[in-house]
Chain A
Amino acid sequence: MEPISLQARGRSRRRLRVNRLAEAASVAAAVIAVGFLAILVGSVLVRALHALNWDFFTKGPAVFGQTGGGIAPALVGTFLLVLFATLFALPIGVLVALYVSEFASPRVAGQIKLWLDVLNGFPSIVIGIFVFALAVKTKMPLLGVGHHQSILAGSFALSIIMLPLVSRTTMEVLALVPNSLREASYALGVSKWRTVMSVILPTAIGGIVTGTTLAVARAAGETAPLLFTCAIAGQLVSWNPSLSSASIPVTIFQYSESPDKNLNAQAWAAAFVLIAFVLVTSLVARIFLERSRRKLGQAG
């Protein structure tokens, strides 16, 4: 008679092997994803370092054929684009979220959420075409800018990208504001709008700020909506929002397709600036969002 063994045999052994294989595949997948990020960030870092210097941040693009130069106009352009886009998207986004969480019936709320998600899924290039048709080809109603590319047109396109992001995160945070707070306020005879202003919004402000920060990080890197609305650029820094300006993503896009090695190096350096901004802001925002979510979760 054979001695008793704890070694799995036959069918059990095969099951254990399959299990080990599946586990290995799962670990490998995670390694691949993290590896993608590491290779991406690493490539940008390595190639950007020697193009990064003081001139890069303070000067305009070099005259054709010369080396050196910088992206100062693009830095200002992206700053203005994102600033105006936030000014458009933040109030509307928060108000829509307030309507959905405080006033709308569940059916209407569900529809608005669905359509905001659909808007979030619109290809950004289509939004670029929309703003081109609305504000570049013709004059934009109300604002009176138009007939040419401008920072305002570009930021309008970016604000459409930001709107669903701001609105959906705000809704999520407002839904976490405990009902006991609302009821406590109403029980004291406080009217609804005062409750919203002095109880609900202050409780949710952390989430709104982080949601907006995430949207800003996304908007700062968007290229497609700017291609037709704010891509014609001069060599100088311009603070006039009714004129077109360079921006960091469009600059990277144009330089990346250039055969000129100097411009390629500038593209890498600009990519480094963009990626550093985007990753740091979205990382910080994510940490804060997690924290305010947990805090609200405990309060409820």
Chain B
Amino acid sequence: MEAAAAPASKNVLRRTRHLADRIGDDALKIVTGAAAVIALVVIAAIIWKVIEGAWPAVRHFGLSFVWHGVWNPVFGHEAYGARNFIIGTLVTSFGAMLLAGPLAVAIGLFLTELAPASLRPPVASLVEMLAAVPSVVVGLWGILVLGPFMRSDIEPFLHRYFGWIPFFSGSPSQSGVLVAIVVLTMMALPIISSVCRELFQSVPRDLKEAAVGLGATRWEMVRDVVLYNVRGGVVAAVILGLGRALGEAIAVTQVIGNSLGPFHLSLFGSGNTLASQIAANYQGAGTNLQVASLVYLALILLVITFIANVIAQLIVRRFEFQRTGGS
């Protein structure tokens, strides 16, 4: 609203307007702008406070914290390292993505290509409802229902037929890495599948009809047209799910067993992740160094999820751009 730059007629109009209108526009801009600044300040403050809280541990251990595997809170012998938790976080999250990724793509295809039109909305909302189930409820179910079932049925089965693979060696237990992987799969599945569904819907009908018209079967059409067109977006969808799995604290703490030892190759054994270690120990943490080390874990977690989310968002954004710009 630079008066000098505006044409003279506008100046006249401006002067004749009500006082409320003259102030109102600028006031609204300032108030909404301030809200936007507050939101960005909160984001900056979160990052700053986590760095500040972790600082004593960063100064004490340096970067070697990342690859040291000891976590010893005994006073006088204190030594902390993040390696086991980082490995645990990566193993559980990537394991969950190996299960949830293909499942979610298949669900997305079912909802866009296969299901009869009357079945699509209800099934889609049922899958999305899965995302609304609070993680603590999934964790409760994980401890008391899934865990015992895994120990008595699934894990012995895997052990009998696939025991030669190191992942399935060892004795079945009711809390462990595999249970955490299944729980994370359930939580990431609806996120990935809803993004996939939108991606598949964006593939132009002409292309699909052309493929079918050339004699392709439905699967060949899906593989060579639908999936081929949105392959980058599918990767982004899986990374978004990964972001959710990486940061999940509550459900994982409930089912993973929270061991402090090195990560076992066997998925039946108990483990730990960055988020679950923080959730399990923050309140009971005694010394300042231990608290700072736990916040250091949070900082590592923040960096990992931040990278995953930014990559996913940038890919998804490029897709939206192509979609609207191309058609």
Q: Which of B189, B218, B219 contacts A36 (CB 8 A)?
A: B189
Tell whether A22 pairs with B249 under 8 Å between CB atoms, given A123-B301, A231-B283: no
Contacts of B177 in A (CB 8 A): none
- Mask, A12-30, CB within 8 Å of B = 1, is 0001101101110111111
Confirm or deny: A282 has a beta carbon within 8 angstroms of a beta carbon on chain B.
Answer: yes
- Mask, B173-203, CB within 8 Å of A = 1, is 0000000000000100110010000000000
A43 to B139, CA, bound (A): 12
CB proximity to B under 8 Å, residues A50-80: none
Contacts of A256 in B (CB 8 A): 136, 139-140, 143-144, 254
Residue of B nearest to A110 (CB): B317
Tell whether A118 pairs with B43 under 8 Å between CB atoms, given A123-B305, A221-B137: yes
Q: Are B217 and A19 in contact (CB under 8 A)?
A: yes
Stretch from B71-79, B101-109, B161-169, B264-272 at the A interface: B101-109
A278 to B132, CA, bound (A): 7
Contacts of A130 in B (CB 8 A): 45-46, 49-50
A222 to B251, CA, bound (A): 11
Q: Are A249 and B134 in contact (CB under 8 A)?
A: yes
Q: Are B302 and A122 in contact (CB under 8 A)?
A: yes
Residue of B nearest to A164 (CB): B39
CB proximity to A under 8 Å, residues B284-327: 295, 298, 301-302, 305-306, 308-310, 313, 317
A172 to B172, CA, bound (A): 48
Residue of A nearest to B111 (CB): A30
Residue of A nearest to B113 (CB): A26
Q: Are B313 and A118 in contact (CB under 8 A)?
A: yes
Contacts of A274 in B (CB 8 A): 134, 136-137
Confirm or deny: B53 has a beta carbon within 8 angstroms of a beta carbon on chain A.
Answer: yes
Q: Interface residue tally of chain B, by bracket?
A: 35 or more
Q: Are A40 and B138 in contact (CB under 8 A)?
A: yes
Tell whether A44 pairs with B141 under 8 Å between CB atoms, given A118-B43, A130-B46: yes
A223 to B134, CA, bound (A): 8
Q: Are A268 and B275 in contact (CB under 8 A)?
A: no
Contacts of A99 in B (CB 8 A): 29, 32-33, 35-36
A292 to B284, CA, bound (A): 48
Q: Which of B53, B106, B145, B248 contacts A133 (CB 8 A)?
A: B53
Q: Are A163 and B39 in contact (CB under 8 A)?
A: yes
Q: Are B25 and A191 in contact (CB under 8 A)?
A: yes
A51 to B115, CA, bound (A): 39
Tell whether A191 pairs with B141 under 8 Å between CB atoms, given A15-B217, A30-B115, A99-B35: no
Within the complex, the shortest CB–CB distance from B262 to chain A, in Å, comes to: 23
Contacts of A291 in B (CB 8 A): none
A124 to B249, CA, bound (A): 8
Interface residues of A (CB under 8 A from B): 15-16, 18-19, 21-23, 25-30, 32-34, 36-37, 40-41, 43-44, 47, 91-92, 95-96, 98-100, 102-104, 112, 114-119, 121-127, 129-130, 132-134, 160, 163, 167, 191-194, 196, 217-218, 220-224, 227-228, 231, 249, 252-253, 256-257, 264, 267-268, 271, 274-275, 278-279, 282-283, 286
Apart from A26-B107, A133-B52, A196-B28, what 18 extra A-B contacts exist at CB < 8 Å?
A18-B219, A22-B218, A26-B113, A29-B103, A30-B106, A30-B107, A33-B193, A37-B126, A114-B317, A122-B46, A122-B305, A193-B27, A221-B137, A228-B282, A256-B140, A268-B144, A274-B136, A279-B129
Interface residues of B (CB under 8 A from A): 17, 21, 24-25, 27-29, 31-36, 38-40, 42-43, 45-46, 49-50, 52-53, 102-104, 106-107, 109-111, 113-115, 123, 125-130, 132-141, 143-145, 186, 189-190, 193, 217-220, 222, 240, 243-244, 246-250, 254, 275, 278-279, 282-283, 295, 298, 301-302, 305-306, 308-310, 313, 317
